[in-house]
Amino acid sequence: MSSSEFPDGFFFGASTASYQIEGGAREGGRLPSIWDTFAHAQGRTLGGDSGDVACDHFHKYAEDIKAMAEIGLTAYRFSMAWPRIRPTGDGDFNEEGFAFYHRILDELEKYGIEPLVTLYHWDLPQPLEDAGGWPDRAIVDRFVEYAKRTVEEFKDRVTYWTTFNEPWCTAFLGYSSGAHAPGRSEPAASLAAAHHLNLAHGLAYKAIKEVHPDAQVSIVLNSHLPRPWNVADPRDVAVAQKIDALANRIFMDPYTAGEYPSILLESTSDITDWSFVHEGDLDAIKGTLDLLGVNYYSSHMVRFNDGPHLLSGEDGHKSTIHRCWPGADDAEFMPLIGKRTTMGWNVDPSGFHAHLMRMHRDMGLPMIVTENGASWPDEVSEDGRIRDVDRYTYLHDHMGALLMAREEGADVRGYMAWSLMDNFEWAYGYSKRFGLLRVDYASQARTWKDSAYWYQETIRNRALTPLDALESLVDTPPLSY
């Protein structure tokens, strides 16, 4: 097998998340999550957008799954909504919620698409936040109950289970910067949240294995590559290591070593004494991963600066970033190199390769890339085509980096493009488009972008499609439903 080919059985997929696509916010017994509350609060999301309707996938799921089959996907990563399955968070389980996901699994089975299910992609039932949310230890038991009952329900149909999507975002965007729901800015609480997420994973792992011993259980971590601005300056190197601890190792070391890194405990000692870590917690977390999910978008450069950068970022961006990093006020995030997406994120495929190799080295686990992709302006041409060259170039270059990492020994078993279709991009509302399929939110029509055709051809050949091959592959007008 040459390095330009993907092996037999490699999962070619796409990712979505419940609150970002489903809509049907008050249908089928679903009750509000923290994202419903946050999106409806004044000034929290761009334009006041919410996931009330989103892509209406709650009603259009069968057509959407048919499109996945037409693209040729062999796997689909999606999340189940806790507020559909156990709407109050601690009361009765909702049969209608289970029935909705059984219908989705029916469709996936029809086309032989492997489901990769995430239990928690940020839509916490509101009553659990009212009771204290992730900073409160009581939530750990609620998550374990939800995980166990849900896996039991679907154990004959789903092998791949992820507990948490990007616990970093939940802990630090949710409870420290406040950019995400529930929008709290409490640094000490955010560190407690991080620990409770790890503990909930560890205990859920054991509960899941009791009901479904063959389950492959993972956590999905977002990538941070905090490279030192000047590698010759030990202060830059030290600050990059601190960010690495807060970004990555806080969700790695407990699983591999059964401990939090000392650099993390030391740099946050003014904020918390870590007394929320109880005797036995770390033993319960260590070794509880069968597989690792990796989300990667871009890389970072960071340098030491204990001066006035904190509140004076030229675009107001730096100060927001800073509130995500408790105990790292002396870290300054530098302008990113390379082309930037409409998220302002840089395009850096070499960072993807470096991150996969690092995760391979430090975690020693099989991996699935559970998110990778980019948002671009996506003009619709007069002939109906969406010539999203930047997106399929991004996919091409990142899938190439993945193949290189595989050649060098990283056990990467699948690739999920973020996202199947344009959707609710959290605080940015519907203003950012990441999809392979374009969504017209007024009509809910979906149209294949050139990237969907590029991916279709790549999956068909199990090899990267050359970037100049598109003209002969795309229908005019493009497929639409």
Catalytic residue among 166, 332, 425, 457: 166
Q: In the bound complex, what is the minimum distance in angstroms from residue 371's beta carbon to ligand PNW? A: 6
- Candidates 49, 348, 371, 388; binder of ligand PNW (CB under 6 A) is 371
**How many Å from the N-terminal Cα to the C-terminal Cα in the chain?**
37
Q: At what angle do helices 187-211 and 139-154 cross, to 10 degrees?
A: 30
**Residue 311, number of CB atoms within 10 A of its CB:** 9
Catalytic residue among 129, 371, 425, 457: 371
- Candidates 425, 448, 456, 465; binder of ligand PNW (CB under 6 A) is 425
- Between CA 464 and CA 470 the distance in angstroms is 12
- Between CA 162 and CA 119 the distance in angstroms is 6
Based on the shown chain and the rule CB under 6 A, indicate whether residue 18 belongs to the binding site for ligand PNW. Answer: no
Cα atoms found within 13 Å of the Cα of residue 21, Cβ hemisphere only? 28
- Between CA 292 and CA 297 the distance in angstroms is 16
- The candidate with the shortest Cα–Cα distance to 256, out of 210, 289, 279, is 289
Based on the shown chain and the rule CB under 6 A, indicate whether residue 222 belongs to the binding site for ligand PNW. Answer: yes
Give the H or E element holding residue 264: helix 262-267
- Candidates 22, 166, 236, 281; binder of ligand PNW (CB under 6 A) is 166
Active site residue 166: yes
Based on the shown chain and the rule CB under 6 A, indicate whether residue 420 belongs to the binding site for ligand PNW. Answer: no
Which residues on neighbouring strands pair with residue 448, listed in sequence order? 437
- Residue placing its CB nearer to ligand PNW in the complex, 37 or 165: 165
User: What single-letter amino acid sits at 148?
Assistant: K
- Candidates 147, 169, 181, 421; binder of ligand PNW (CB under 6 A) is 169
Q: In the bound complex, what is the minimum distance in angstroms from residue 475's beta carbon to ligand PNW? A: 28
Site stretch for ligand PNW (CB under 6 A), options 162-170, 264-272, 325-333, 436-444: 162-170
Q: In the bound complex, what is the minimum distance in angstroms from residue 367's beta carbon to ligand PNW? A: 16
The tokens describing 340, both together, are: 């930037």
- Residue placing its CB nearer to ligand PNW in the complex, 147 or 221: 221
How do beta strands 300-304 and 331-333 pair? antiparallel
Q: In the bound complex, what is the minimum distance in angstroms from residue 310's beta carbon to ligand PNW? A: 18
- Residue placing its CB nearer to ligand PNW in the complex, 324 or 459: 324
Q: In the bound complex, what is the minimum distance in angstroms from residue 218's beta carbon to ligand PNW? A: 14
Site stretch for ligand PNW (CB under 6 A), options 3-11, 31-39, 163-171, 202-210: 163-171
Q: In the bound complex, what is the minimum distance in angstroms from residue 4's beta carbon to ligand PNW? A: 28
- Candidates 94, 163, 165, 241; binder of ligand PNW (CB under 6 A) is 165
- Residue placing its CB nearer to ligand PNW in the complex, 129 or 425: 425
Based on the shown chain and the rule CB under 6 A, indicate whether residue 123 belongs to the binding site for ligand PNW. Answer: no
Active site residue 371: yes
Q: In the bound complex, what is the minimum distance in angstroms from residue 426's beta carbon to ligand PNW? A: 6
Q: Please give the radius of gyration of the chain, using alpha carbons only, rounded to the nearest integer.
A: 21
Contact assessment for residue 245 and residue 263, using Cβ atoms and an 8 Å cutoff: yes
Torsion-angle region of 73 (φ positive above 0: left; ψ -120 to 50: alpha; else: beta): beta
The CA distances from residue 397 to 9, 374, 404, in Å, are 21, 12, 11
Look up tokens 């000047």; give the residue. Answer: 230
String of contacts with ligand PNW for each residue 282-301, x by CB under 6 A: -------------x------
- Between CA 423 and CA 429 the distance in angstroms is 8
Q: Is 45 exposed, middle or buried (0-12, 13-18, 19+ CB in 10 A)?
A: buried
Contact assessment for residue 65 and residue 111, using Cβ atoms and an 8 Å cutoff: yes
Residues touching ligand PNW, count (CB under 6 A): 10
* Residues with catalytic roles: 166, 371
Footprint of ligand PNW on this chain (CB under 6 A)? Answer: 17, 20, 165-166, 169, 222, 295, 371, 418, 425
